[in-house]
Amino acid sequence: MEKHMEPPCPLHLWFELSYASYLVLPRSVMQEMPFEWRERMAKCLDEICEVFKGIEDDGYAVQLRGKNGRFRSDPLANYRHPNTSMIEEMRNRGIRS
């Protein structure tokens, strides 16, 4: 009997070999994405909350750690007044020629 193999999960592939259990994305950065992307993201978030009722009930606290493992202030935490120069610098690093 032939065993049916499922294709690799795209999320597992995205996380690669990390041991991360969570994905944290700064709201200030997501708000700088194109409108169509923000629309898709909002729909995906609505969908996961619909499928997994109560997932948004618990509150999580996120704190930034530097490369040395010490806590540091988060320059992207203020989504109402985002650090636009830092976001633009990150965008420029992400652009591939």
Report if residue 63 sits inside a domain: yes
Cβ proximity of 72 and 64 under 8 Å: yes
pTM: 0.76
Phi, psi of 71 (to 5 degrees): -65, 145
Q: What is the full per-residue pLDDT of the chain (97 aa) written as tens digits?
A: 566 677 778 888 888 888 889 999 999 999 999 999 999 999 999 999 999 998 878 888 899 999 999 999 999 999 999 999 999 999 999 875 4
Q: Classify each residue of 31-59 as buried b or exposed e, where b means 16 or more C-beta atoms within 10 Å of its C-beta.
A: ebeeeeeeeeeeeeeeeeeeeeeeeeeee
Query: CA end-to-end span of the chain, whole Å?
Result: 48
**Domain coverage including residue 61:** 26-94
Number of domains in the chain: 1
Report if residue 48 sits inside a domain: yes
Length of the chain: 97
Report if residue 38 sits inside a domain: yes
Report if residue 7 sits inside a domain: no
